[in-house]
Amino acid sequence: MLRFLVRRLLMTVLVVAVTSVVAFSLVHLSGDPAAAMAGEGASPADVESVRKTYGFDRPLPEQYVTWLKRVFEGDFGRSHYLRASVAQVLADHAPITITLGALAIAFAVLLSIPLGVLAALYPNTLVDRLAVGLAVGGQAVPSFLFALLLIYIFGVTLRVLPISGSGSWAHFVLPAIALGYYATPAIMRLTRSGMLDALQSDHVRTARAYGLPAWRVIIKHALRHAMIPVVSLIAVQLGFMLGGSIVIETVFALKGVGYLAWQSIQRSDIEVIQAILLLIAAAYALLTLAADVLNGAIDPRIRVG
Amino acid sequence: MTLDAGETLAVVGESGCGKSLSAMAITGLVPPRAKLIADRIALKGKSLLGLREREWRGIRGRRIAVVFQDPMTSLDPCYTIEDQMREIGRQHLALDARALRARMLDLLRQVGISSPETRLSQYPHQLSGGLRQRVMIAIALMCEPELIIADEPTTALDVTIQAQVLRLLADLQKEHGFGLILITHDLGVVAGAADRIAVMYAGQVVESGPTDTVLSAPAHPYTEGLLHSIPVPGRTARGAPLGFIPGVVPRPDAPHTACGFINRCSRPVSACATPIALMPIDPAHAARCIRPCLGGQIVERHPATETAA
């Protein structure tokens, strides 16, 4: 188990290291950062002075190392537009996105896994078709349209839920449903196919032949196996949500990381963009690690050699 | 098919002839798309037809246990041997944790596992195929069942282990007195292990009788063909082609409007084009054939009008 953990942890560090290079390069190679920061009306002299001040005149590898050193010290730099430390800016926006992502994935999991199991228990029946239909609806309807529909029904017509802002838990209900619904089809389908396989496996037949109650066979001996790929998928989906959904955050006026990233790109606020890219990559890598560890706990063949 | 306590019935036939399906039907477990049609399935005189799910749970694993073909996949890879044995033990036996653990250790010893404490804490993938099959047999014995169905229990094992597992089953049967249905397509397995034999073809029993009789004097042309296709050292000429049965098995969904073997038979007559019943040759021996071979002679019989057995 320890060797397994150490190996996965090393992989995670490598992935983050590589993405830090990519994140840094992308920002610095897509146009001249000094010109972008100085603004449209700036004179060549102004651009030159910006270049000097921010160190853009140094060779790129050197800039990268300097940036990485600061990051290791916990200093992500300053937002030149917001005139605040990047750490502070992120601390303002991240909790909203994390809350939204966690609620959305919880909604997606609670909806799609029971639907997937149900569909697999009654394959090719009306139950199956309805479950698949309900889940796939999430993929077919564009998320902004679904979000607007939710707003219209629950916010405008029924007036039961707030539709904008992040003042209370109630504010997160509609955006979490809108964002989570988008993740349901993939999770549901993977659960369904995993369950179909698991229910036909020999050890499930054994469990049935030894008189174990149906629900125990389904949960303990089938669902556990079906969950292995699903856990990995959920980790990726959650990573995607933590990256911030610009559409959902915009529709519900939530000032989260997605919104911040979009704004920062428009403002050429490169220190903020770099930090967001790095953090999203780290979140993805950590979630993947968590999924691997969880899968190791689910299936001993993964952890015990 | 009938089976007495302490007796071994071998069900033989080629792949897909319905051996496993028929045997699993005894436990009421057939695949979702299969439909169970039987006039009678009974255990010790009590009918098992139309039992409710709850009632089945008192039969499966407790009075009828199954040892499956592939020990590699028949145990759940996610749980230790102890977890899996305990789950089944708890379901059927009213034992406290200590007594149950003692029972598990005792069972593992009975099936010849030398360090049962270690094995209990291991996962299936840490055991060899032979060991896993021994664990499956230990699980089958857990509740002292009256009937054990062994579905090709040695097919997935290598030859030396096969003999060990068969001997183990025979020894345990002597000790515990359970009836054993041994499903196999290996006639070599049958000869030493079974009291009686039921030969299946295309979903039907075509011949049944005492093992010695059926193997030495097969009445049905299919049984004859099967036996002819086995090389016998000393009797089969070197370099000579082995016997085989021409043609192919009818589709499983083909209606039984004629003898299922008619197109492959060496001695068909026009009367074979009607459904043939399983007809007794003597009280212990029966064949689904109107021209069976008895004492080296083909005997003509009239198509039975009684219903198929």
Dump pLDDT digits (tens) for A134-170.
888 777 888 888 888 888 998 888 888 888 887 788 8
What pLDDT is recorded for position B99? 93
What pLDDT is recorded for position B39? 78
A3 touches chain B (CB under 8 A): no
Of A87-101, A244-258, B23-37, the poorest mean pLDDT is in: B23-37
DSSP secondary structure string for all residues of B257-296: SS-TTGGG-SS--GGGGS----EEEETTEEES-SS-EETT
Lookup: tokens for B236 = 């089969």
Mean pLDDT, chain A, whole residue set: 87
Q: What is the pLDDT along chain B (309 residues), one digit of tens a residue?
A: 788 888 899 999 888 788 888 888 888 888 777 777 777 888 888 888 888 888 888 889 889 999 998 888 999 999 999 999 999 999 999 889 999 999 999 999 999 999 999 999 999 999 998 899 999 999 999 999 999 999 988 888 888 888 888 999 999 999 999 999 999 888 877 888 899 999 999 888 999 999 999 998 899 999 988 888 887 777 777 777 777 888 888 877 777 788 888 888 888 888 888 888 888 888 889 999 988 888 778 888 876 554 444
Q: What is the DSSP letter of B113?
A: -
Q: What is the DSSP letter of A222?
A: I
- The CA-atom distances, in angstroms, between A259 and each of A33, A153, A165, A171, A175 are 21, 25, 13, 17, 14
- Nearest-neighbour CA in chain B from A110: distance (Å): 23
Q: Where are the alpha helices (DSSP H) in chain A?
A: 2-29, 33-38, 44-54, 60-72, 86-121, 126-140, 143-150, 170-199, 202-209, 214-216, 224-242, 246-251, 257-266, 270-298, 300-303
Q: Do A210 and B88 touch (CB under 8 A)?
A: yes
Q: Do B91 and A211 touch (CB under 8 A)?
A: yes
CATH topology of domain B8-194: Rossmann fold (3.40.50)
Percent of chain A with pLDDT over 90: 31
What pLDDT is recorded for position B308? 43
Distance CA A244, CA A278 (A): 14
Task: Report ipTM (2 d.p.).
Answer: 0.83
Pick from B122, B140, B132, B113: which is nearest to B80 by CA?
A: B122
1.10.3720.10, 1.10.275.10, 3.10.310.30, 3.30.460.10: which CATH number matches A88-303?
1.10.3720.10
What are the residue ranges spanned by the domains of chain B? 8-194, 216-298
What pLDDT is recorded for position B160? 84
CA gyration radius for chain B?
21
Q: Which chain A residue has its CA at the smallest distance from B54's CA?
A: A213
B276 phi/psi in degrees, rounded to 5: -105, 135
Distance CA A236, CA A287 (A): 7
What pLDDT is recorded for position A74? 83
Q: Do B91 and A205 touch (CB under 8 A)?
A: no
Distance CA A242, CA B185 (A): 57
B249 phi/psi in degrees, rounded to 5: -65, 140
Q: Do A221 and B73 touch (CB under 8 A)?
A: no
Residues 221-250 in A contacting B (C-alpha not used; CB under 8 Å):
221, 224-225
**What residues form DSSP beta bridges with B150?**
B67, B182
The per-residue pLDDT for range A167-190, each reduced to its tens digit, is 788 889 899 999 998 889 999 999
DSSP secondary structure string for all residues of B44-106: TTEE-TT--HHHHHHHBTTTEEEE-S-HHHHS-TTS-HHHHHHHHHHHH----HHHHHHHHHH
Chain A residues inside the 8 Å CB shell of B87: 212, 216, 220
Stretch A112-121: mean pLDDT, rounded? 94
- Nearest-neighbour CA in chain B from A205: distance (Å): 8
Q: Do A211 and B29 touch (CB under 8 A)?
A: no
Count other Cβ atoms within 10 Å, centred on residue A204: 21
Stretch A93-108: mean pLDDT, rounded? 92
Which positions ≥6 away from A136 have C-beta within 8 Å? A185
Residues 199-218 in A contacting B (C-alpha not used; CB under 8 Å):
201-203, 205-214, 216
- Nearest-neighbour CA in chain A from B29: distance (Å): 7
Name the segment(s) of chain A with CATH classification 1.10.3720.10: 88-303
Spatial contact of B287 and B277, defined as CB atoms under 8 Å apart? no
Residues 210-239 in B contacting A (C-alpha not used; CB under 8 Å):
none
- The CA-atom distances, in angstroms, between A101 and each of A241, A295, B4, B225 are 5, 21, 64, 68
Length of chain B: 309
Please state at what angle helix A60-72 crosses helix A270-298, rounded to 10 degrees. 60
Q: Which residue has the tokens 């047999």?
A: B137
